[in-house]
Chain A
Amino acid sequence: MAKKVLLEKAHIKGIRAYDVYKAQGGYASVEKALKMDPAAIVEEVKKSGLRGRGGAGFPTGMKWSFLAKPEGVPRYLVCNADESEPGTFKDRYLMEFLPHLLIEGLIVSSFALGSNSTYIYIRGEYAWIVNILEQAIEEAKQHGYLGKNILNTGFDCEIYVQRGAGAYICGEETALIESLEGKRGNPRIKPPFPAIKGLWDCPTVVNNVETIAAVVPIINMGGEEYAKIGVGRSTGTKLLSACGNINKPGVYEIDMTISVEEFIFSDEYCGGIPNGKRLKACIPGGSSVPILPANLLLKTAKGETRYMNYESLSDGGFATGSMMGSGGFIVLDEDQCIVRHTMSLARFYRHESCGQCSPCREGTGWMEKILTKIENGKGQSSDIDLLWDIQRKIEGNTICPLGDAAAWPVAAAIRHFRDEFEWHVNNPSLCLTENYGLAHYADELSIVS
């Protein structure tokens, strides 16, 4: 049984309420942290090796130590609860079932960073979770953990929940800040980074919900103990949201030492593929990361077992590997069409592009059009090359990483499943009724149970 430090208590009846949460040892980290020097808290987080859980995996302690502290200027902590990357629904789970864990983490983090007004920016569609969080904030306040002079330390802190209104791009931290200022979610050109000039031009840290929640066990057990969970630079636990063609979709906490094969096939996690179907492919870290065919998913190109951690998932780079990303784990069985799935993701990115940079604005629409053509049996061989060309011209040429995020899924689909694209082009009517299935790598698939 893997070690759990976040969801351990998620199943306790009534844990959403303050009294039950508190009786289970809740808010101990606040009691402990508020007696510490803020710099010592940052030090613990550094020692823990915690990496941002929002997708980029940037070391949290380092990010915190970059925060500028000019005299007389407020600093802000903003919690990113925008969660809109297809395949990702872990933050929702955490907020819905353990709202006090997030609030507890936010109080400790706000104290460490010196934020007296902290904002949770939550995607607008999670309307009912706003109420759950506001209730938890109210309870924390009644018990003296929020408000003025918390635990007689002289530290004041308020937490506010701000609802978005439907825009994936507002998960990008500078777009999020713009949105929080009441504007369109157009990402800013960096530098300056938010740590210097963020919300209302003040120094700001933006962290994911899961990152903030992880601060609680880090303070409780100490950074060094936390770092002992996991492996190498993948310390601690990671929440994964598993979906697609699996028997047990849901949110799982893993300690990053298990193999991808175990995660997909064991009953403790995804429970295998339904209806006796075989595994075709998987997008292991949210829609933006490269898709991998089954053979490269379970084993690296060198033939080693692939594990569910940052290093192993990215082993081989984009040529033969992928990324941990946001932990949105999307499984495709043998009946799924790669062209169709890629088309759906291309539509998503076209819809979500903020439109500021032409390679992203024009490129995402163009890719969707070509993919739709190929999917509908109207594509030509040259369209596949054109698609490759367009994605390459988007990557690295835009203000924010959404451009890359739109390019990568298309690139990986062509890289690993080119023959499926060609089959569509060569079989314009057959592809409307039949499926390419596992044709191109059936032999290699013998390694798959």
Chain B
Amino acid sequence: MLKFSDNKLKEVKKIIDRYPQGKQKSALIPLLHMAQSEFGGWLSPESMDYIASLLTIDPIEVYEVATFYSMYNLQPVGKHVFEVCQTGPCMLNGSDNIINYIKTKLNIGVGETTEDGLFTLKTVECLGACGYAPMMQLGDHYREHLTKEKVDAIIEECRGKE
């Protein structure tokens, strides 16, 4: 059985307290973020059912939301997810080349994970960093002004964490 730690459960309570009595469903999106980061980087049906039980809402209400928002992974992903922006302004600054370089370097396609389970490559739409293009999101942070050399360094940095 999945379960948040006691500390996390305290955080859950704090989040629910932000909303008026009976409006605890508003905590759903924050709690799904928490579940994704606590339970392996993706939302399994078990995680979603657990969140439903915490908020006393129906599991279907959780599935509906989890499938709508692009930040939730509904399949397992690698340990490090490269989310490279491909929208117009980034494209003007060579995001295509960066995406192709990562594909070749890691030998995976978009949406795929390396065999060792370390890296997943995703393309995403504008992340609000258009002036610092090309860019990607890695975990909770942005990596901007990407070049091939920077991509190499990021890959090494991730491998170094193993």
* A interface residues with partner B (beta carbon < 8 Å): 74, 83-89, 91-92, 117, 119, 123-128, 158, 160, 162-168, 179-185, 200, 241-245, 249-251, 287, 328, 330, 332, 336, 340-341, 344-345, 347-348, 351-352, 354
Contacts and interface: CB of A to CB of B under 8 A. Distances in A.
Dominant secondary structure at the A interface: mixed
Contact of B92 (A84, A162, A330, A348): A330
A168 B68 CA distance: 11
A200 B92 contact: no
B89 interface: yes
Given A164-B69, A165-B69, A182-B29, A127 B131 contact: no
Contact of B18 (A91, A160, A179, A351): A160
A167 B68 contact: yes
B111 interface: no
B32 interface: yes
B132 A352 contact: no
Contacts of B25: 181-183
A420 to B, nearest CB: 16
Chain B's interface size range is 35 or more
Contacts of B89: 86-87, 243-244, 328, 330
A253 to B, nearest CB: 14
28 contacts: A74-B20, A86-B130, A87-B88, A87-B89, A88-B130, A89-B128, A123-B128, A125-B127, A125-B142, A127-B140, A127-B141, A128-B140, A162-B30, A165-B69, A166-B124, A167-B69, A181-B23, A182-B26, A185-B68, A200-B23, A243-B131, A243-B133, A244-B130, A287-B126, A328-B130, A330-B130, A341-B91, A347-B125
B75 interface: no
Contact of B71 (A117, A125, A345): A125
B72 A165 contact: yes
B50 to A, nearest CB: 16
**A-B pairs with the 4 shortest C-beta distances?**
A165-B69, A249-B131, A166-B70, A166-B71
Given A124-B69, A167-B68, A341-B88, A179 B29 contact: yes
A399 to B, nearest CB: 16
Contact of B28 (A84, A182, A200, A351): A182
B114 interface: no
B65 interface: yes
Contacts of B70: 165-167, 351
A344 B91 contact: yes
Contacts of B55: 182
B33 interface: yes
B151 interface: no
A352 B127 CA distance: 13
A125 B18 contact: no
Given A89-B128, A243-B130, A243-B133, A163 B88 contact: no
Contacts of A86: 87-89, 125-126, 130
A354 B69 CA distance: 10
B87 A344 contact: yes
Given A127-B140, A160-B18, A345 B88 contact: yes
Nearest to A328: B130
Interface string B44-83: 0000000000010000010011001111100000000000
A124 B71 contact: yes
A249 B142 CA distance: 17
A376 to B, nearest CB: 14
Which of B26, B29, B132 has most A Cβ within 10 Å? B29
Nearest to A336: B92
A163 B29 contact: yes
Interface in B109-150: 124-133, 137, 140-142
A118 to B, nearest CB: 11
B29 A162 contact: yes
Contacts of A92: 128-129
B37 to A, nearest CB: 10
Contact of A182 (B27, B88, B125, B131): B27
A244 B88 CA distance: 9
Contact of B26 (A124, A180, A249): A180
A199 to B, nearest CB: 9
B125 A164 contact: no
Contact of B125 (A128, A165, A183, A348): A348
Given A179-B29, A183-B65, A168 B125 contact: yes
Contacts of B125: 84, 86, 168, 347-348, 351-352
A128 B127 CA distance: 13
